[in-house]
């Protein structure tokens, strides 16, 4: 999925910079979002994702920004209450002295909507989030999941073009968080609304997003559909952050071949795999072989060792419930091989093979893509 053209663009951020004293919060960030897209801002604490969200929502004024448009409107300097977007917060930010309906109606009341119309819209929004019949309850009478739904209804009731969600599931337990992921995604598809979602969870981002903007040190490192971040990381940082178990460092040993493959020297081993870096590889430059645990093949007997295979011996076995992770010892360091059937782990091991199309090679220096 490429950047949206002008006709389908609902949000444009150009060259946003922000500093907190000597600390860089955003470092020349540009972003375009299409109407109806579910975009996730993913990253560690301090990566800049929440700062970017707050700038979009008008809750933070950037140090400098070349453009900030919601729809056709330049919203630089426009107060948050007048922007065509609403925010759902992790901490709910509900008023404990108000009823559920009064909380949901609050934004409409600020906008001067008549009481009867406020009530009608609140009832409709609460129905969307499956809280019908709880309009008159107090906030302390609700569970954590119900409170999050009230916060969601309050943001939806003003019918914004963009819904901003700042780690809204972070305070929920794991089971409820998984259920709410499914509900949020279904609601977004039902409404056709643009969602911009902040999280540090790779699993949340992959589950719900049309595209993910992975951020680090105030920059967007990679902006792509989930499957591309998962299968085609642009550098070592992206692969590591997305949870790749096997990262083998070495140097580029060949130029880019037909089909997009390149070779990597890693000590006594050599590997051939797809190059997924942004720039063309340079022979002798540092690079990393990226191999998910599901991809290596364990070989026993008198298996030949050569290109894309290394001698190996069995190490510890880690039981994970639905699968086991088999640790194997190799000359390039320990590797993890995931096995769905623990009885399929061989009694002895001679080598591990990495098929060329089951891995990729990326730059191992530099945090940012170009």
Cα–Cα dist 329/313, whole Å = 5
Dump the DSSP string for 171-212. TS-HHHHHHHHHHHHHHHHHHT-EEEEEES-HHHHHHH-SEE
Confidence of residue 366 (pLDDT cuts 50, 70, 90): low
Confidence of residue 369 (pLDDT cuts 50, 70, 90): very low
- Using only C-alpha atoms, the chain has a radius of gyration, in whole angstroms, of 24
Tokens of 228: 């591309």
The sheet carrying 297-299 orders its strands as 297-299, 351-353, 309-311
Question: pLDDT tens digits for 248-296?
Answer: 999 999 999 888 999 999 998 999 999 999 999 999 999 999 999 999 9
Minimal CA–CA distance to 66: which of 26, 6, 13? 13
Q: Tell me, what's the pLDDT at 272?
A: 96
Cα–Cα dist 11/234, whole Å = 25
Q: What is the mean pLDDT of residues 192-201?
A: 95
Q: What is the mean pLDDT of residues 125-149?
A: 90
Which domains are assigned to the chain? 9-231 (3.40.50.300), 244-363 (no CATH)
Helix axes 115-128, 174-191, angle to 10 degrees: 120
Q: Tell me, what's the pLDDT at 2?
A: 62
Q: Which pTM was predicted? A: 0.90
Positive or negative, the Cα torsion across 347, 353, 359, 365?
positive
Are the CB atoms for 157 and 102 separated by under 8 Å? no
Cα–Cα dist 155/85, whole Å = 8
Q: Tell me, what's the pLDDT at 273?
A: 97
Tokens of 289: 């072989």
Cα–Cα dist 14/229, whole Å = 23
Cα–Cα dist 282/264, whole Å = 11
Q: How many CB atoms lie within 10 A of CB 32?
A: 20
Minimal CA–CA distance to 91: which of 49, 176, 150, 19? 150
């Amino acid at each position: 999925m490429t950047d949206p053209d002008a006709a389908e663009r609902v949000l444009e951020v150009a060259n946003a910079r922000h500093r907190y004293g000597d600390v860089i919060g955003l470092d020349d960030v540009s972003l375009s979002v299409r109407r109806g897209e579910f975009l996730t801002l993913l990253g560690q604490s301090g990566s800049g994702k929440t700062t970017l969200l707050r700038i979009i929502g008008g809750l933070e004024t950037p140090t400098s920004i070349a453009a900030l448009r919601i729809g056709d409107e330049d919203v630089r300097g426009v107060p948050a209450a007048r922007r065509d977007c609403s925010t759902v917060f992790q901490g709910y930010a509900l008023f404990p002295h108000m009823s559920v309906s009064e909380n949901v109606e609050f934004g409409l009341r600020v906008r001067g909507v008549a009481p009867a119309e406020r009530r009608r819209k609140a009832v409709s929004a609460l129905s969307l989030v499956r809280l019908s019949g709880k309009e008159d309850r107090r906030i302390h009478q609700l569970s954590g999941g119900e409170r999050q739904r009230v916060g969601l209804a309050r943001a939806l009731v003003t019918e914004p073009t963009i819904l901003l969600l700042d780690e809204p599931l972070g305070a929920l337990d794991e089971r409820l968080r998984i259920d709410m992921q499914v509900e949020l995604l279904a609601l977004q598809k039902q409404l056709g609304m643009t969602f911009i979602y902040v999280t540090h969870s790779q699993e949340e981002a992959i589950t719900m997003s049309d595209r993910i903007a992975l951020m680090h040190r105030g920059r967007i490192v990679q902006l792509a559909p989930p499957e591309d971040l998962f299968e085609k990381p642009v550098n070592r940082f992206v692969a590591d952050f997305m949870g790749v178990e096997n990262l083998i460092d070495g140097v580029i040993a060949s130029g880019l071949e037909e089909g997009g493959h390149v070779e990597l020297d890693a000590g006594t081993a050599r590997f051939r795999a797809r190059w997924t870096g942004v720039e063309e590889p340079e022979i002798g430059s540092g690079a990393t072989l990226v191999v998910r645990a599901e991809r290596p093949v364990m070989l026993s007997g008198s298996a030949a060792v050569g290109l894309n295979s290394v001698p190996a011996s069995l190490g510890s076995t880690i039981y994970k419930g639905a699968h086991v992770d088999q640790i194997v010892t190799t000359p390039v360091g320990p590797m993890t091989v995931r096995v769905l059937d623990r009885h399929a782990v061989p009694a002895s091991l001679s080598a591990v093979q990495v098929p060329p199309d089951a891995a990729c090679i990326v730059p191992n220096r530099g945090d940012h893509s170009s």
